Amino acid sequence: MWFYLVTLMVLYQLLRWYRERQVVSHLQDKHVFITGCDSGFGNLLARQLDRRGMRVLAACLTENGAEELRSKTSDRLETVILDVTKTESIVAATQWVKERVGNKGLWGLVNNAGVFPPFAYMEWLKPEDYMGAFRVNLFGLIQVTLSMLPLVRKARGRIVNVSSVLGRIAFCSGFYSCSKYGVEAFSDVLRCEIQDFGVKVSIIEPGSFKTVMTNADLILERSKKVWEAVPEHVKEAYGQQFFDDFCSNSTQKFGMCSADLSPVTDCMEHALTSRHPRTRYSVGWDAQLIFIPLSYLPRSLTDYIFRSRCKPAQAV
């Protein structure tokens, strides 16, 4: 019995390996639009696809970021300034893309732009602290996708949305997780709605990687500013010692992030170039070996595992 089960699993993996190695033809003629190319995953992916000969349309938030990227790539790569929180900027970028892809349409759309709200308990944050995460990570992603969708549909192309392992299981940075849960839901619904047009939608779920968003010193600085503005009755409920322990634990967590971003961009590239891309790519040893398996456990158990061992001053 076990022999047949093992044989079946081996055959399935071999078939999957064979299917996923099949590459789309004429990649040099295909355009890919990537958001958030100033740094991090977007910047590396733009350079990676450029080296492969694809026609990269890179959206950067700043002109400095765009200039730096152009200096490291070939003349094929073109840049545009895009703020995904502004409708007029999205409309202008869509028209810019349309002029470059022509009747071929847009083969790939990679929604990579993202921000990380201050790392803090949700009760400590004001609306202005966390609304930016929704405007960029979720609402901006949705608006860019729907604006570019006719161009992608024309090419029967690909949409790649960058989520997070925290979009599968939430245990810290609550509002960031909320925005990424929304990305997961939007991507799943979109995939069902447009699959009859030949468009494929993939989700990238990175674990812990060292980017501008996860710089430990920057995160610690922002957390301290948030704590300073917390109302006194909330500070009394948690206590200064609780906050100090929270900062210490946070620094350790973000200090363990991997500096090698290529596993994430390799998955993005596969989603764009493989004839049979995956629906989801969970990237990073912590995502695959810890967080994704934990997401299938009873919630009461994961709550116990993830809850802080530091007790607030007024804890029961």
Q: What is the pLDDT of residues 60-92, one digit of tens each?
A: 999 999 999 999 999 999 999 999 999 999 999
- Considering the chain, what is the average pLDDT of its residues? 91
Residue 108 CB partners (closer than 8 Å, separation 6+): 30, 31, 32, 33, 152, 157, 158, 159, 160, 272
* Within-domain flag for 248: no
In whole angstroms, give the CA distance from residue 133 to residue 110: 18
Q: Is pLDDT above 80 for 212?
A: no
Residue 114 — very low, low, confident or very high, per pLDDT cuts 50/70/90?
very high
pLDDT class for 222, splitting at 50, 70, 90?
A: confident
* pLDDT at residue number 214: 67
pLDDT at 229 over 70: yes
Give the β-pairing of 55-60 and 158-162: unpaired
Which domain covers residue 272, as residue numbers?
A: 26-215+260-296
* Count: domains in the chain: 1
Residue type, 281: Y
DSSP 73: S
CB atoms within 10 A of CB 190: 18
Average pLDDT over residues 17-32: 87
Q: Model confidence at 206, in pLDDT bands (50, 70, 90)?
A: very high
Spot the catalytic one: 4, 12, 18, 176: 176
Say if 128 falls within a structural domain.
yes
- Find the mean pLDDT for residues 191-212: 93
Q: Phi then psi for 202, rounded to 5 degrees? A: -120, 150
Q: Residue 58's beta-bridge partner residues?
A: 34, 79
> Span 209-236, mean pLDDT?
85
Instruction: Respond yes or no: is residue 4 known to be catalytic.
Output: no
Q: What is the pLDDT of residue 314?
A: 78
* Cα distance between residue 194 and residue 200, in whole Å: 8
Higher pLDDT, 313 or 244: 244
Q: What are phi and psi of 312, to 5 degrees?
A: -60, 160
Whose CA is closest to 206, among 255, 252, 261? 261
Q: Taking residues 172-191, what's their average pLDDT?
A: 94
Nearest to 36 by CA among 137, 106, 128: 137
Q: State in Å, rounded, how far the first CA of the chain is from the last one.
A: 53
- Tokens representing 127 are 């609306």
The residue assigned the tokens 């960029």 is 136
pLDDT in the model for residue 88: 97
Please give the distance of CA 40 from its chain centroid, rounded to a whole number: 11
Place of tokens 């069902």: 192
| CA-closest candidate to residue 294, choices 285, 306, 309 | 306
Between 217 and 38, name the one with better pLDDT. Answer: 38
Neighbours of 182 (CB within 10 A): 18
**pLDDT (average), residues 161-166:** 95
CA 155 to chain centre: 24
**Whether 60 contacts 38, CB under 8 Å:** yes
Q: What is the pLDDT of residues 290-315, one digit of tens each?
A: 999 999 999 888 888 888 777 887 77
Q: Are 34 and 112 in contact (CB under 8 A)?
A: yes
Q: Is residue 252 part of a domain?
A: no
What residues are paired with 80 via a beta bridge? Answer: 59
Position 155 scores a pLDDT of: 96
Domain assignment present for residue 286? The answer is: yes
The most confident of the ranges 120-124, 185-189, 222-226 is: 185-189
pLDDT, residue 16, reads 75
Say yes or no to pLDDT of 216 above 80.
no
What pLDDT score was predicted for residue 316?
67
240 lies in some domain: no
CA distance 186 to 289: 26
Q: Per the domain annotation, does 158 fall within a domain?
A: yes
Distance of CA 42 to the CA centre of its chain: 10
Residue 316 lies in a domain: no
The CATH number of residue 175's host domain is: 3.40.50.720
Element (H, E) at 210: none
- Is position 220 within any domain? no
Distance CA 249, CA 99 (A): 49
Length of the chain: 316
Sheet with 200-206, strands from edge to edge, namely: 78-81, 55-60, 31-34, 108-111, 158-162, 200-206, 280-283
